Chains A and B, each alone.
Chain A
Amino acid sequence: MPGLLERGLRGRPVRAALTALGVTLCALLTVVLFAAHRSLAAAVRTYPGLAGADLWVAPYGTDNLIRSTGVLAWELSEEALEVAGVAAADPILRAFVTAEPEAGGQRATLLAIGYRLPDGLGGPPPLREGRRPQRWDEVVLDRAAADRLGVGIGSPLRVGGLAVTVTGLTTGTNLLATQFVFGDLGTACRAAGLQGRVSFVAVGAAPGADKDALARALRERLAGTSVLTGGEFVAANLREVSAGLLPLLGLLVTLGLAVAAVLVALLAQGLVEERREDLAVLLALGVSPFRMGAALLRGVAALVATGAVTGATLAALLALALDRWAPAVALQPRVDDALLTLALLVAAGALGAALPVARLRGVDPLEAFRS
């Protein structure tokens, strides 16, 4: 019976299809926004998480890669090595540099990470293809950056005016607005115009060393610095990215949900106004306003769910297409985000339908006699 009642209360097919399309687009927008945030969050987690460092020494007040203005003396890494429990300490430079293909073409501003070749701490995460740099004039860069610049493995490139060759490509290092490039520390310093200065010192703890105790010891020894554990550094990077992006994402998602709610409200309101005679007949036949409202809400929920699932599917397809043809726009759609979107849209739809459903109480079954 619920099936018959719901089908009987359906709105006009074209209007319902347009509403479902609108909800689909809202779902697509919402899932894409979530996916963009996931991608960005993954990018700021990938490098610090896979750089091999247990602790990060940064200029005082600096706790992340994204916004780092202070610098440290290169020799600080030697001083860190003197602290008991430190197995390795390597300087790292992080700086924005301009990159362009040797043959000319489009330029791109990249986030350069300079580290000690060939195996110092702070190097690139596992490569997608190619090999890590072995010489001062070799770099690996994010796949999306390579796509933006139109270069590949073996291509000559100018980074900060210095000629280098691309030897490998990374993934998970795309910050959307910019991408990572990894190379020799000295080359990075020259390209950034920062001789003898570095941004961080990546510290590797000796086996069995207490990292919290080691962090305290480093803070005492290296005055005027911040010492963060790997977990703290990753969390600070995530916080930095989210602080700037989440309010905007929240606003856009809210607007998308509001649009979906209005579309559903229009559909439900049209149904209550145009099908008043049918509604009166159903009331006369013994259907309660509550039951009719529930049927209407179930219909709305089904429509919204269809739109949301379609939107989430399109978002997944869009992510695949972008990865194939425009990797600079990195999206990481996830099932839990799609489910959250579905729940949010159903809630928005229910909210949108609430007022029209409440107006069902104003329908008089006697109207069935007067039609």
Chain B
Amino acid sequence: MSALVLHDVVRTRGRGTRRTLALRGVSLSIDAGEIVLVEGPSGSGKTTLLAVAGGLLTPDRGTVGILGRDLGALDAAARRRLRARSVGFLFQRASLLERLSVRDNVRLAAALAGLPPAEGAREADALLDRLGLAGRAPRRPSELSGGEEQRAAVARALVHRPSLVLADEPTACLDGASGRAVAEALAALARERGAAVLVATHDPRLAPFGTRRLSLLDGELRAAA
């Protein structure tokens, strides 16, 4: 079963005379273990695609399914539950909560997904260790470098073993080495855990890690050249 299926999705953005089509009949299917890179210039609809795929926006037309469940048939609370349990998010900035330690940031995502506290803590520690952040786990996010923060965000995105990871320009704010480290970590862990990954990016450093490359231009999705 595909982790994510979009069928003929249309979504507009803006209002009145500024209303434009962000997604024009987009269809996409991603299986477990796949890493799909969606490239495109700013304003091409990449973020809208991620938001629709994650159930944060509802399509004006078409269907979105995660693990075979049609998001359109679910109410807001059920979509939230599905998102918490089955989807991991990685944003352009790490966006960790400053009031929590790195470890607790990761544990929070596990708890939101419904993992028992002991299991969540075990998963968080294992992931942080794997990402070379074991020594940084008790620290506050502001004490970490940008690359370390984003790797901690990778741990947060994967701690609950989601079926789908949605990443929005995850390396855009990082230098070369840090960006590569984050990309490697995301790709390796997602494969190990059998997660499907949809990455919106225009960072060429990510190209080697994708199993498929797509291009989004003016809301239309095509295979990348």
Contact = CB atoms under 8 A, between A and B. Distances in A.
A7 B93 CA distance: 21
Interface stretch (B1-9, B65-73, B80-88): B80-88
Nearest to B50: A369
Contacts of B27: none
B54 interface: yes
A4 B89 contact: no
A90 to B, nearest CB: 71
A284 B98 CA distance: 17
B108 A4 contact: yes
Interface stretch (B31-39, B99-107, B191-199, B204-212): B99-107
A4 B51 contact: no
A249 interface: no
A365 B47 CA distance: 12
Contacts of B74: none
Given A9-B99, A277-B95, A368-B89, A286 B80 contact: yes
B112 interface: yes
A38 interface: no
Contacts of A286: 80-81, 83-85, 87, 112-113
Contact of B97 (A8, A284, A369): A8
B146 to A, nearest CB: 14
Number of chain B interface residues as a range = 20 to 34
A106 interface: no
Contacts of A281: 89, 91, 95, 97
Interface residues of A, number: 22
Interface string B183-220: 00000000000000000000000000000000000000
Nearest to B51: A366
Nearest to A9: B99
B108 A8 contact: yes
A365 B56 contact: yes
A260 to B, nearest CB: 23
Contacts of A9: 97, 99
Contacts of A366: 47, 51, 56-57
A370 B47 contact: yes
Contact of A1 (B50, B89, B93, B112): B112
A176 interface: no
B81 A1 contact: no
A368 B91 contact: yes
A84 B85 CA distance: 88
Given A365-B56, A366-B56, A369-B50, A287 B168 contact: no
B50 A4 contact: no
Nearest to B80: A286
B92 interface: yes
Contact of B92 (A10, A278, A371): A371
Interface in A1-57: 1, 4-5, 7-10
A288 interface: yes
A285 interface: yes
Interface in A275-313: 277-278, 281-282, 284-288
Interface in A137-172: none
A288 B56 contact: no
Interface string A354-371: 000000000001101111
Nearest to B86: A286
Nearest to B47: A369
Of residues A9, A368, A370, which shows the largest number of chain B Cβ atoms within 10 Å of its Cβ? A368
B83 A371 contact: no
A285 B83 contact: yes
B185 to A, nearest CB: 19
A303 to B, nearest CB: 14
Contact of A10 (B93, B99, B105, B111): B99
The 3 closest A-B CB pairs, nearest first, are: A286-B84, A1-B111, A8-B97
6 contacts: A1-B108, A1-B112, A5-B111, A286-B87, A369-B47, A369-B92
Interface of A: 1, 4-5, 7-10, 277-278, 281-282, 284-288, 365-366, 368-371
Given A278-B98, A366-B57, 19 more contacts: A7-B104, A8-B97, A278-B97, A281-B95, A281-B97, A282-B97, A285-B89, A286-B83, A286-B84, A286-B87, A286-B112, A287-B84, A366-B51, A366-B56, A368-B89, A369-B51, A369-B92, A371-B91, A371-B92
